[in-house]
Every structure is written in structure tokens, then in C-alpha cells.
Structure 1
Amino acid sequence: MDKAETYRQLKAEIDSVVEGETSETARYATAACLLAQAFKPRFFWTGFYIVDPMKDAELVVGPYQGTLGCLRIPFGKGVCGHVAATREAIIVPDVHEFPGHIACDAASNSEIVVPVFHADGRLAAVLDVDSTDYDAFDTEDLTGLTAICETLLTV
């Protein structure tokens, strides 16, 4: 099965599992688990940083699969903070060349981050996926992860 088909099947599975689930935590945990398992070992760290309701310019670590994550990331700092501030997904082929990169784990070499929105358009979280490989992510990953994130909180 090719990568695009894997993403289509994962999206259908995630949508099915979380349908009717009222807990955002459960939704994030389900997506992180299924994505990490499907793309293991390329996905070294897979998880969500959630907009802190008490500090609306900070992300706080949410459900994830992988090694210890950073606990908090200010908007505009590092790759996740950049996506939170711009509300646009990004692929970073070499995190060591990204200005202000936050090294939560030194084994990470490339990263893709996709925003997650509430139904009303407010930023809810970012999906962060790291790889120990350089240049591990492409437009197929971006398309697949974006499709999952677009409906994660709405199905």
C-alpha cells in the first residue's frame, strides 16, 4: 500500500474511532497512537501541543507517542510555536537549520507540524511529528496529516 492510501485509511479509521467522542484528549491520543504505529519507525515522535486555555499564547504538551516532549512552547518559538503563530503547516527537512529550533530531543532531525482548529476556526493545537531521518517528510505527508487534522475535532 502506498503512503497516500495509508493516510486515507488512517483518516477513515481515526474518524470512525473518535466519532461522537466528546473528549478532545481522547481524540488527540487516538490520532497520535494510530499515526505513530502506522509510520513506525519513520515517525520518531508523534503528538499534539495544545493551546493552553489559561495562557492563550502558549502551547502545552498533550497526548503523544515517543520520548519526553517539551512541556511548553511559546507561540513564535521553534517549529511548533511558528505554526501556532502563523496557523500554517510547515515541513522542516533539517531542524538544525530552523531559526530558533527547540531541541526537545537531540535525536530529531526533521519535522512536520500541522495546525488543528476548532469548528469555529480558533486554533486548538498543533500536530507535531519528528523523525530521526533528515528530509523525512513530503507533500504526501502534509496532505495526509492535514486531512486528519481538519476533521479531528469535528467528526
Structure 2
Amino acid sequence: MRKLFVLGAAAMMTLPSVLSADTAPRDVAFADDGSVAESLTGVAGDPTAGLENATSRGIGNCVACHVAEGWKDAAFPGNVGPALTGIANVYDESQLRGILVNSKKTFEGTVMPSFYNLDDIIRPGDAYTGKAATSPDVTILTAQQIEDLIALLLTFDEPLPE
């Protein structure tokens, strides 16, 4: 009886992690247009965390290439990529998810990184060692960081510039 109780308790403790398991990068289902309809986590994104990811040079670093009204106070925004002001009026949630997961599925030949992809990419080596990376199955962003960025970008619903 005691073994049954212990097994039941262990199962109950692991149930939340099974129910909230992230979609693995190689299991992401893309539509023909490059969009990804299903959430990667099943958990709503947090736009505040998304802003931290977008403006942090050590995480998403979106500001290195994009300007946006949503981070107008960020230091040294880039202009390599398109402006993201009003992006929510151009792309829906599934399209934004697809672009962030693997931008090459939507924009062939783009220089934008694929943030949640493990295939067909060049991996940097271990920092400052001159050696290959020891853990090649690590994405640039986590599934939750992708969902947080989507939540942020969906707040960028300013009128598009004419």
C-alpha cells in the first residue's frame, strides 16, 4: 500500500511538467506559409518578459537589427531589419511565431536568425576557446521566450507609417 502511495505521489508531481511540456524544436509544425499555429508552450506569453528579451543584448537582441516604437528608449537600435512599429497590423500570432522560430521558412535567404531551430544553421563555438560548441542542441531562445516575444510584438499595433 505504501509503495502505491509513493508511486501515486510521484506521478502527481510529474504531471504538471508533462502537461506543460514545450514543443521540441524539431517537432514544430509549420504551415505552407511558414506560420506556426500552435503555441510552443501552451502558456500565454508575457509582453514584459518579451521586452526584456528583445532589448537584452545577451538574449534576443532584437534591437540590434530593428527599431520599434515599443522600445524607443533602447540604446543603439539597429536598422538592418525592418521597423517593427505596427507589426501586429501586418502579421498575426501564428505568422510571428513562424518567423521567430525559423525565419527562413517565411523569408528565404534572410539574415535573421532562426531562434528556435536546430537544423541548417551555423553554430558558434564555445566562447573564446576556438573549439566547437559542446552542446549543439541548444536553441538561441527557449520556447517560452519565443511566446513572450510574440506577446510583446502583438502589442505593437500602432498605425503603419505611410
Q: Output the TM-score relative to the length of structure 1.
A: 0.31
Greater percentage in strand: 1
Q: Give the number of the structure whose alpha-carbon radius of gyration is greater.
A: 2
**More relative contact order, 1 or 2 (CA 8 Å, 6+ apart):** 2
Q: Output the TM-score relative to the length of structure 2.
A: 0.30
